[in-house]
Amino acid sequence: QKEVEQNSGPLSVPEGAIASLNCTYSDRGSQSFFWYRQYSGKSPELIMSIYSNGDKEDGRFTAQLNKASQYVSLLIRDSQPSDSATYLCAVNDAGNNRKLIWGLGTSLAVNP
């Protein structure tokens, strides 16, 4: 069974701090990794994608990928209350590249 595991949280950080969200995956052949943000009652929204080992930065967001450890993380710098949401990690199914394998999500609360 291919799995993506995330700490369900809630992760609580003060405004202005760095939030660190982590994800591990079991499919060693996965090549594409995504972070989605989902506000309560809304649909998932893609915020970061990463395909190569190392860091990828986009504004206040940094995705980090370590394929050897099968680990992907998302750092949110200068966290804002508007970042409070559930963050979903997804990786491609190497056996069927048309599908993604989804984690259950980590709930983040940024406290003013």
Partner 1 sequence: DAGITQSPRYKITETGRQVTLMCHQTWSHSYMFWYRQDLGHGLRLIYYSAAADITDKGEVPDGYVVSRSKTENFPLTLESATRSQTSVYFCASRETSGGLGAFDEQFFGPGTRLTVL
Choice between 36 and 79, CB closer to partner 1: 36
| DSSP β-ladder status, 11-14 and 106-111 | parallel
Which x/- pattern over 42-81 shows residues binding partner 1 (rule: CB under 8 A)? xxxxx--x-x------------------------------
Choice between 2 and 60, CB closer to partner 1: 2
Hey, is 61 helix, strand or coil?
strand
Which residues contact residue 73 at a Cβ distance below 8 angstroms, ignoring those fewer than 6 apart?
20, 21, 22, 23, 63, 64
Contact positions vs partner 1 (CB under 8 A):
31-32, 34, 42-46, 49, 51, 88, 90, 92, 97-100, 102-105
